[in-house]
Amino acid sequence: MRLGIYQCDAGGLSAKARLSALELRLADREVDLMVCPELFASGYMAVDHAGLAEPAEGPFFEAVADMARRYETAVCYGYPEAADGCVYNSARLVGPDGAALANHRKRLASPGSFEEQTFTNGGAPTLVSFGGLNVAIIICYEVELPESLRKAALAGAELALVPTALVDQWGIVAEKVVPTRAFENGLWLAYANHAGEENGARYLGGSRIVAPDGVEEAVAGAEEAVIVAEVDAARVVKARKRLPYLRDAVKL
């Protein structure tokens, strides 16, 4: 599977402008799956997430689904979800036929952030089959806890999609923690961040696609970019055979 990450510089842009930017990237790159950052639909540092929130199959979803069909490309994107009187920090996976494949609600708010007052925590992990791989969706801070990805891997995950909004003071997360999570669980990891500035915050960039052996197959700089890598299940099997962490973890 040809996997891409769209590291976008979209601070201050409307949802329509963000969709237009995404379409240009889909038209420019032939990928099977494109991963966009956390709260891509609204912007992470948006002033009014509740006002910008939509149902899981709202207008933004419909627009992405249309693009997915036209470019025959699956898309994973973050958005503020309105459901049951609550607002969730969610990520939606749309198939290349425009079908809704999965919807993950962030289970842990980033500590000390506006998220704690703005969003309701999700209640369940998310795992779906796509492109010959078992795919977990995990949002930002969730990946920083080793238990989160370990549980997903033990449930069968071979690829983790991680939309994020990492600012420039936390480079250690992208550069050290994320490759470690891929290595210690023997899975592919797609870490999709924002670029540029938004309402006083400067994003790190640094999106990356990490292989199951911890090798960084593609890494973005600080600016807007699309990075691409070929991912497959064979490298998962090889990594887990060489270092059987998952087999032995349950013995502890």
User: Pick from 16, 6, 33: which is nearest to 102 by CA?
Assistant: 33
Catalytic pick from 8, 36, 76, 140? 140
Catalytic pick from 36, 54, 106, 198? 106
Strands 133-137 and 127-130, bridge-based pairing: antiparallel
- Catalytic, 38? Answer yes
Phi, psi (rounded to 5 degrees) for 58: -80, -165
Residue reference for tokens 């999609």: 161
Catalytic pick from 8, 36, 38, 142? 38
Residue reference for tokens 């449930």: 155
Tokens of 21: 């930017």
- Catalytic, 8? Answer no
- Catalytic, 115? Answer no
Catalytic residue annotation:
38, 106, 140
